[in-house]
Amino acid sequence: MKDGLIHHAVDGISIDFDPIGGRIEAMVIEPSDGTPALRPLHKAPWVDAGEDLPDSIDLVERSLAGDFFCAPFGKQPGTPIHGWTANGTWLPAGTENGADGSLTASYRLQEHVAGASVTKDLTLRPGHPFLYQCHRFRGGQGHLPVGHHAMIRVPGGARLSFSPKRFCVTPNNAPESDPERGRSVLSYPQRINTLAQIKTAGGKTVDAAGYPFDSGHEDTLVMAEADGDIGWSAALAKKDGFLFFAVKDARRLPETTLWMSNGGRSYAPWLSRHTYVLGIEETATGCHASRHFESTGALSSEGLATGLVLKEGAETEFRYGFGAVPAPAGWTEIADIRVRRSELMMTDTGGDSLTLPFDGTHFGL
């Protein structure tokens, strides 16, 4: 294990947390049926190789792995990319062990975010193939885009599914527009109804719900949540043997941002080797309205949050989590995820369903 990682475990699931940067660097799920352990989270090849990268590259990219909270999301003036929540130091703030065998590890960010103090709770429950997360911001001033940045790697491909969305957009600018540095293939900007109608720069239509749909590219798109308090995302990676899923408070995080990183950056540290990576990022930014990863401090014309608004004496929580199960035999695409107080039920388009133990009270159910 990498020096400095903190290991948290209960029966059936464990995580490795890096307090320098606040990353969930690894997750291991031990299925109850005795099938091989699942390790769904991605880690960049330069991290695995232990390469010594220059400090000019922000820590979050030098140590790119797993999931981390971004505040602010993206590159904003005055902070490293994705903010101090993804580049700062998280100090242990206590561990609580429940009578049911559950474990909650709490951390406090040493740095402040626009004057706000930030805490992180990570909860594991025995037999739940899911990590429950809560980030709390207290005080501060101003507003900023925020979001989670979970990443998986699917060399065998994945079929993507989501809670109902209003529309999809691509930002105003492509991630890589200089052919000397990289390549993006989608058209920027565009607004479309579904992932199946995404336009490429060459005028073709691709179904971005089937990933990857191209090679040697770096692309981003944003989906705006439809009505509902709970949102979800799922990636069925049949050849790689797992089904990744995430659940969020959709009122606080009303977007799903897809970062499709498939060898489209040729400069260091990427060197065209960061392939088959998919960031399934639950966010609150103005991109769904303005095509920029920014915050206006107010709701968009769609009535959706564009970020986090900070106020002295106020507290805001972001509740989210993700997990994985073995890819169910015969399944092709997730049709629905229903969250209840004590269980989560996933349904395939073929009609089969899978019910898992789940703590719906984490999301106020």
Task: Provide the pLDDT for residue 1.
Answer: 47
Given a cut of 50, the residues of the chain with pLDDT beneath it are 1
Q: Could you tell me the two tokens for 242?
A: 């797992």
Residues 6-363, CATH architecture: Distorted Sandwich (2.70)
Q: pLDDT tens digit string along 91-142?
A: 999 999 999 999 999 999 999 999 999 999 999 999 999 999 999 999 999 9
Measure the CA–CA gap between 150 and 129, rounded to whole angstroms.
16
3-state helix, strand, coil in the chain (%, to 5): 5, 45, 45
Taking CA atoms, 270 is separated from 46, 53, 181, 260, 294, in Å, by 8, 11, 10, 14, 25
Task: Provide the pLDDT for residue 27.
Answer: 98
Task: Provide the pLDDT for residue 3.
Answer: 76
Q: Could you tell me the two tokens for 33?
A: 């049926």
Burial class (CB in 10 A: 0-12, 13-18, 19+), 360: middle
CB 238 within 8 A of CB 156: yes
Secondary structure (3-state) at 128: coil
Residue 279 neighbours by CB under 8 Å, 6+ apart:
149, 150, 151, 257, 258, 259, 260, 261
Q: Could you tell me the two tokens for 244?
A: 């990744």
Cα-Cα-Cα-Cα dihedral of 364, 136, 258, 4, to 10°? Answer: -120
Task: Provide the pLDDT for residue 33.
Answer: 85
Residue 221 C-beta-side C-alpha neighbours within 13 Å: 28
Q: What is the DSSP letter of 186?
A: B
Residue 307 neighbours by CB under 8 Å, 6+ apart:
72, 73, 143, 144, 145, 146, 284, 285, 286, 294, 295, 296, 297
Domain ranges in the chain? Answer: 6-363
Q: State the DSSP string of 28-73.
A: EE--TT-PPPB--B-B-HHHHTT----TTS-HHHHT-BSB-EEBS-
Task: Provide the pLDDT for residue 2.
Answer: 63
Q: Pick from 48, 68, 192, 49: which is nearest to 58 by CA? A: 68
